[in-house]
Chains A and B, each alone.
Chain A
């Protein structure tokens, strides 16, 4: 079946602009996660959705970052007033229900964001 998909695959923007990154999770997965991966580093947690609600947004770096999942499926990560330090690969993952140690997270290919 289809895996997690993310669009766009690459996004180049100018400092100060607004960007939206989209994630389509695996069909039927109620849990969705956003991670950020800086160059040469492992992914770092940003936010976790259970259904439509953000159950944990403790990883969002500041209030310029916001994410939504209005219908419990597709999610959009929104970044306002982008800064050069926001440049990274933004990964989305989904899992069956977000509960239990065997609830494996499956990752999308990521969106590479470059802020000039």
Chain B
């Protein structure tokens, strides 16, 4: 099935550092979402974006809906150990319900 391209695939960072990751698609989406998944758990919604160019924050997390509507970015500032997990982007076409997920970015934070 179709999966969106996420980069980087994995990151090892020091506690306190900022993190950036992105997601690209060959298709235009009307909604971009960012989820976090921890071991043994389902994905948990972090941020949802609904308009091209939109910039939305949730605490230390900031996400942007790319103006081409084919990409999205997630930034985490001042990382902490509990940020560890896999971050997935997901895109949604207008009028549909079928989330198309990315391949994931695995984040590890070293204390």
Partner-binding segment picked from A12-20, A69-77, A78-86, A99-107: A99-107
Instruction: Determine the interface band of chain B, counting residues with CB < 8 A from chain A.
Output: 20 to 34
Instruction: Determine the interface band of chain A, counting residues with CB < 8 A from chain B.
Output: 20 to 34
What A residues does B88 contact at CB under 8 A? Answer: 42-43
What A residues does B102 contact at CB under 8 A? Answer: 42
Query: CA A109 – CA B42 in complex, angstroms?
Result: 4
- Do B92 and A101 touch (CB < 8 A)? yes
A-B contact count (CB 8 A): 66
- A interface residue numbers (CB < 8 A to B): 4, 9, 31, 33, 35, 40-45, 48, 56, 59, 91, 93, 95, 98-99, 101-110
Query: CA A33 – CA B100 in complex, angstroms?
Result: 13
Query: CA A106 – CA B103 in complex, angstroms?
Result: 19
- Do A59 and B1 touch (CB < 8 A)? yes
- Do B31 and A101 touch (CB < 8 A)? yes
Contact of B44 among A31, A56, A59, A107 (CB under 8 A): A107
- Do A109 and B41 touch (CB < 8 A)? yes
- Do A107 and B104 touch (CB < 8 A)? no
- Do B101 and A44 touch (CB < 8 A)? yes
